[in-house]
Amino acid sequence: MIPQDLAGRAREAALRSYSPYSRFRVGAVVLGAAGEIYEGCNVENAAYGSSICAEATAIAGAVATGLRKIVGIAVACVDAADVDGAYPCGNCRQLLNEFGTEWVVVTAGEGTEVRFHEFDGLHPYGFSL
């Protein structure tokens, strides 16, 4: 599966978002080296700080299933006005850093641009031990 194909899957995942507080639906799809796919969406909570980003749920699902190397991830913020408002937050970039992510695809709603980035360009000098 090529990076751009994942954007459509991320948009579908965003439709399952639980985001009654922000009304900002996000979907994410993690790709493994053997073509495995793990989907996630943001899961909000009445205690706002307990909310989880879409990327985090996708990464957690992938890792819990045994994945240790993430090739790429697609993120779709379907309620963002445009792609500029659809980039992963800093915390999610660090989560992606942990598993060797090579690229990130970002998109917003249907019919919007799909942007490809090398991960290092989005998160240079990421922290690792």
Q: Do the beta carbons of residue 88 and residue 122 sit within 8 Å?
A: yes
Structure tokens at 68: 């240790």
Residue 108 Cβ vs ligand THU, minimum distance, rounded to whole Å: 12
Residue 1 Cβ vs ligand THU, minimum distance, rounded to whole Å: 21
Question: How far apart, in whole angstroms, are the C-alpha atoms of residue 62 and residue 67?
Answer: 5
Nearer to ligand THU, 26 or 62 (CB): 26
Q: Of 36, 44, 55, 110, which one is the catalytic site residue?
A: 55
| Residues at the interface with ligand THU (CB under 6 A) | 19, 22, 24, 26, 42, 44, 51, 53-55, 88-89, 92
Question: How far apart, in whole angstroms, are the C-alpha atoms of residue 59 and residue 96?
Answer: 8
Is residue 110 part of the annotated active site? The answer reads no
Question: How far apart, in whole angstroms, are the C-alpha atoms of residue 94 and residue 89?
Answer: 9
Catalytic residues: 55
